[in-house]
Every structure is written in structure tokens, then in C-alpha cells.
């Protein structure tokens, strides 16, 4: 299922527990991942990763792929670049993983992805 905006995604998933999320947009969403952690009050907090469709970069011959983490960290749209669309997509996944691992360290390694073994977030 290809989603074009956050509203479509939210409509198909269980409700977010966060109340103040800022979704800037990544363009056409081609991939998502949902993780969670329990905060200090034992409330389940949802963390979502959104990856946009790689596009030609407006200022170079390369490609770019926008991605965003929602529910943890600064929640700003970030840009990964590559020589072609596949490299841009790979770069986005690697950068998303690096961001998640860094933020997970700050959380005391509490992030959980139900699709993997304990401690793994399912990224390269």
C-alpha cells in the first residue's frame, strides 16, 4: 500500500499515544515502521519511521530520499542523498537506523520492534 500522507497512515493503524507530533512530510510514503517504548510513567509511546519515495535532487544530478522519525527526537524531516534512487533509499534507511540507535541509547535501549528479536530495530 503506497500512502501519500500521514492522515492515510494514521487511519490504517492503531491510535498514537503521543499528542504533539509534527509531521512535516516526506512526499509519497513508500515505507513505514512502527516501534514503541514505555516511558517513565509506564505509558506506551509509539515511534514511527516514514520513508518517502526517492526523487531527483532539485539542485544536483543526484537523488534524494526524505525520511522522518515521529514520536522521538527532534522529529524533523531529514534528507538522504545518493547517486541514484536506490542509493538514496539505502542512505535513508542507514541514517534512520543511526538516528534510532542514538535515540534508543538515550532511552536506555527501551525501543521495541515487534518484528525482530529483543534489542533489534530491524534496520541495516
- How far are the Cα atoms of 28, 56, 65, 94, 99 from residue 74, in angstroms, in the given order? 21, 26, 18, 18, 10
Q: Three-state DSSP class for 51? A: strand
Q: Does residue 121 lie in a domain region?
A: no
Q: Is 65 inside any structural domain?
A: yes
- 116 within domain boundaries: no
Answer whether residue 55 is part of any domain: yes
Decide if 45 is inside a domain: yes
What pLDDT is attached to residue 24? Answer: 65
Report the distance separating Cα 61 and Cα 94, nearest Å.
21
One digit per residue, the tens of pLDDT, for the chain of length 124 reads 333 344 444 334 433 333 344 456 899 999 999 999 999 999 999 999 999 999 999 999 999 999 999 999 999 999 999 999 999 999 999 999 999 999 999 999 999 998 887 778 998 7
Confidence (pTM): 0.79
What is the number of structural domains in the chain?
1
Domain residue limits at 71: 6-106
Amino acid at each position: 500500500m503506497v500512502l501519500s500522507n500521514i492522515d492515510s497512515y494514521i487511519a490504517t493503524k492503531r491510535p498514537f499515544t503521543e499528542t504533539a507530533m509534527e509531521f512535516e512530510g516526506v512526499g509519497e510514503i513508500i515505507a513505514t515502521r512502527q516501534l514503541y517504548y514505555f516511558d517513565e510513567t509506564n505509558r506506551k509511546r509509539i515511534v514511527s519511521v516514514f520513508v518517502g519515495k526517492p526523487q531527483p535532487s532539485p539542485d544536483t544530478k543526484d537523488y534524494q530520499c526524505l525520511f522522518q522519525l515521529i514520536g522521538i527526537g527532534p522529529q524533523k524531516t531529514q534528507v538522504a542523498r545518493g547517486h541514484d534512487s536506490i542509493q538514496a533509499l539505502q542512505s535513508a534507511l542507514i541514517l534512520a537506523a543511526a538516528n534510532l540507535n542514538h535515540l534508543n541509547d538515550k532511552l536506555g535501549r527501551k525501543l521495541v520492534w515487534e518484528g525482530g528479536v529483543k534489542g533489534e530495530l530491524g534496520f541495516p
